[in-house]
A and B are shown apart, each in its own frame.
Chain A
Amino acid sequence: MESTILAEMPITKTNKKLNVIQNSIEHIDSPVLKIDDLSVSYGGDKYSIRNVSAGIARNKITAIMGPSGCGKSTLLRAVNRMHELYPNTHNKGAVYLGDENIYKLNPIQLRRKIGMVFQRPNPFPTMSIYDNVIAGFNLNGIKLKRPEKDEIVERSLREVGLWDEVKDALHNRGTFLSGGQQQRLCIARALAYTPEIILLDEPTSALDPIATAKIEDLLVKLKKDFTIVLVTHNMSQAARISDYSMFMYLGELVEYGKTKQMFTMPKDNRTEEYLTGKIG
């Protein structure tokens, strides 16, 4: 969890966007996920993200960029309500998955539909590779038959390109894998459960360039079947793999649009300053 102090500013009237800035938020047709005027606070009336509205396009990769503390991780976590694990959080606004407000759903049900991959690879060290992949089912008390499990494990591991590397060590613990392999295992764990959306919170920041490239290729391949939302610190990564990009600054969604367009012709000058390295 990155520092949110920078962005802790109260909601004020001036934050209600002027028309000029509103235009810098692209409208997405029939989005899979619709964030509607969302503000999130970790306590008190200081909000880490304020009045964010955006639709997420189906079967695309959406990257969320911004300097440390801009609220990009908070936004990501608010989407599957992981931010509620911290005490005293509260939020305004809504997020719609289909036509259901996720804040009216049970978090258990919600997280079953929106999977998540974290900054550092975090396979369960007490479980085998096999059990890690199947963990979503076991944890949720879904009883599967052996062949069903085998099929899910093989399919998920194939999808992340890990099958050939680990098929002979399925019942060993996942902790002996390299960092990149561990992270792919964590992606497999999220996939196994066939969620609609996968959230990734800076998934390659702890990895070397080769492992990073593998994960990036994987994400591009995966968008056929899943909608991917990715928080990244790394502008070139966003440019390489994302279809849409969000730029957040001090808790606001400053600009949101097609990645190509944002990187070539940003509409807001804060986006431009960030992309050219003047802020951040």
Chain B
Amino acid sequence: MNISTEISDRNIKRRLLKDKIFTYGMISFAFLSSIPLFLILYELILKGYKQININFLFEVAPDTMDAMIAVSNHEIIPGGIANGIVGTLIIVGLASIIAIPLGIICGTYLSENAEDRFAGIVRFIVDMLQGVPSIVLGVIGYIWIVKPVTGGFSALAGSIALSIMMLPSIVRSTEETLKMIPISLKEAALSLGVPYHRVMLKVVIPTGISGILTGVMLGISRIAGETAPLMLTALGSTAIQTNITQPTSAIPLLVWEFYNDPNLVSMIWSASLLLLILILCLNLGAKAIAKKWKVQY
């Protein structure tokens, strides 16, 4: 049997054309994905920048009547989102206080006992926690705190929900970072007669601090924009609230309120813009830390 293995010019031309079409198609699809981002940024900046001034940061959200009067007089709506800013700081801060130590300790446990069976179970559970929808955590915050502990909606309930939400990313980034640290470093410290816990606290964790902090920052940026769980827990408040057992506002909650109030609608853009800037700063901060504080080993 004589089999021709020659490739005809037509075959090659057709295949090269296919290759070209595919390449250009792929490149265009990849970059088409960036269009929504720019449309969103454009919308936020164009509609939001007017409203942002000093008052916007330091005054509480206006009530509907004031806003209606201002709108009918073609003025800028008075007031700001100070109640939301303070609320976000409190809720996210409290969530961080709960989640960061627990997350770092648990991540350390997982990296130190990599082969342990119980650690395997914990790792699996952390993975599963990562996938729990935020609204479900809102329900949990409601059932655990709102009803039995604070007897009503509260910042604490929101913080608990958000802390469970940020926990997995801290655990996993701590574990991944510590796993990368060479054993020789630990052995060097142990050979100097340093006790195990001091080796971990003074040598291993500080060496991995940039990776851990990056995970922490990303965890914070992940919860800072969350609205759904706070609707079921912190609820919102028109005044600045510093008592964590009371209903408290947050920037994303204010966006939601403004969206639902026809008179306040023009404030959604500036509030969203500010929220986005905050999250962007957290992300950039995480990247800067990862780069600057990186310990070479």
Contacts and interface: CB of A to CB of B under 8 A. Distances in A.
Contacts of A151: 1, 3
Interface string B13-43: 0011000000000000000000000000000
B159 to A, nearest CB: 49
A108 B15 contact: yes
A108 B1 CA distance: 25
Contacts of A109: 7, 12
B1 A147 contact: yes
Contacts of B11: 140-142
B12 A148 contact: no
Interface string B103-121: 0000000000000000000
Contact of A148 (B3, B7, B15, B16): B3
Interface string A76-115: 0000000000000000000000000000001011001000
Contacts of B5: 112, 137, 142, 193-194
Interface string B30-68: 000000000000000000000000000000000000000
A129 to B, nearest CB: 20
Interface string A137-165: 10011101001100110000000000000
Contact of B7 (A140, A147, A152): A140
Contacts of A108: 7, 12, 15-16
A35 to B, nearest CB: 24
Nearest to A144: B3
Given A108-B12, A108-B15, A142 B1 contact: no
Contacts, number: 28
B15 to A, nearest CB: 6
A212 B73 CA distance: 90
A151 B1 CA distance: 8
A172 B188 CA distance: 49
B3 A106 contact: no
B71 to A, nearest CB: 57
Nearest to B4: A142
Contacts of A152: 3
Contacts of A112: 5, 7
A109 B11 CA distance: 10
Interface in B132-147: none
A210 to B, nearest CB: 33
A73 B200 CA distance: 47
Interface in A188-208: 193-194
A112 B16 CA distance: 15
Contacts of A140: 7, 11, 15
Interface in B175-213: none
Contacts of B7: 108-109, 112, 140, 142
A109 B1 CA distance: 23
Nearest to B1: A151
Contacts of B1: 147-148, 151
Contacts of B16: 106, 108
A142 B1 CA distance: 16
Contacts of A137: 5
B3 A141 contact: no
A108 B7 CA distance: 9
A77 B280 CA distance: 47
Interface of B: 1, 3, 5, 7, 11-12, 15-16
Given A109-B12, A142-B7, A142-B11, 5 more contacts: A108-B16, A140-B11, A141-B15, A152-B3, A194-B5
27 contacts: A106-B12, A106-B16, A108-B7, A108-B15, A108-B16, A109-B7, A109-B12, A112-B5, A112-B7, A137-B5, A140-B7, A140-B11, A140-B15, A141-B11, A141-B15, A142-B5, A142-B7, A142-B11, A144-B3, A147-B1, A148-B1, A148-B3, A151-B1, A151-B3, A152-B3, A193-B5, A194-B5
Listed from nearest, the 4 A-B pairs whose CB atoms lie closest are A148-B3, A151-B1, A108-B12, A194-B5
